[in-house]
Amino acid sequence: MKQQPSIFEIVSKFKSEESCIAHFERIRWPEGLRCVRCKGERVSKLEAIGKTGKDRHLYYCADCDYQYSVTVGTIFHDSHLPLTKWFLAIYLMCSAKKGISSKELQRQLDTSYKTAWYMAHRIRLAMKDDDALLEKLSGVLEVDETYIGGSRKGPRGRGAANKVPVVAIKERTSGKIRMQAVENCSASVLKNFIREHAEPGAEIHTDEFSSYLWLDSSKFTHRAVNHGETYVRYEDGKPVHTNGVENVWSLFKRGIVGVFHKVSAKYLPLYLNPDYS
């Protein structure tokens, strides 16, 4: 596994707007500058001074007579913030094991709270998009659901009012996890989630919740454990349990309490993408 860079490396590598732009150009256009609109190669760089007196780094395409910035079409677009702050924000958000609050981001980046919140929101959206490209999980997978947020009063467990249902799937050998906030825990919702993340033929361990019964006649092998009786049972000498995914819940809930304090249902899906394994 590639080791994570230190904050010192990040700050020294991306100390100026120019160094960030050079990096960004390399990852956006690895084969040389291309027009974002017509993909043409007759692109030149323009140095201009913006309304605020800062340098604006622009590109001009001679093929389609179009002028654009390096950030057009990205999460940084239309932002007055320097890329140096964006890059550091991304680093901080990706390296914090239990996530990072907007308040902490505000402190570390020396911005207003509103700005920090906006950056965090955009970065989470980008991470979410990334998830769609991930490979499906395989082998033994544990699936479980929980309810997060809302008031403490009222019924516990499945169907609890005010709470957001969240479903997770964990690949046992690698520890990889995918989580998603869902509207409810009906069989069809869980079916969509499992089909999206699990390789056909995978062995899926769940508890005996009725919304998993369809798995018995599906492309997956289903092994259920009755939590009223035991937490681990053995089938063909191999353990059937959902302990791995349940450990994720406790870590996640502590993260919510410790870092995000309160999470509104509206934004919960955006907090569910970091790798908690």
Where on the chain is the footprint of Zn ion (CB under 5 A)?
35, 37-38, 40, 61, 63-64, 66
Q: Which residues pair with 221 in a beta bridge?
A: 203
Q: Which among 230, 240, 274, 229 has a CA at the least distance from the CA of 255? A: 274
In sequence order, the β-bridge partners of residue 258 are none
Helix 102-109 crosses helix 113-131 at what angle (to 10 degrees)? 120
Spatial CA neighbour of 251 closest among 153, 164, 168:
168
Q: Which is nearer to Zn ion, 19 or 74 (CB)?
A: 74
Q: Residue 33's closest CA among 68, 4, 75, 8? A: 68
State the minimum distance, in angstroms, from the CB of residue 18 to Zn ion: 24
Rounded least distance, CB 64 to Zn ion, Å: 3
Q: Is the dihedral of CA 158, 250, 113, 115 positive or negative?
A: negative
Helix-strand-coil split of the chain, %, nearest 5: 35, 20, 45
Q: Shortest approach of Zn ion to residue 34 CB, angstroms? A: 8
* Cβ distance to Zn ion smaller for residue 35 or 141: 35
Q: Which is nearer to Zn ion, 34 or 191 (CB)?
A: 34
Q: Provide, rounded to whole angstroms, the least separation between the CB of residue 41 and Zn ion.
A: 9
When the beta carbons of 64 and 134 are compared against Zn ion, the nearer one is 64
Closer Cβ to Zn ion, 35 or 93, answer by number? 35
Quote the least distance from Cβ 71 to Zn ion, whole Å.
17
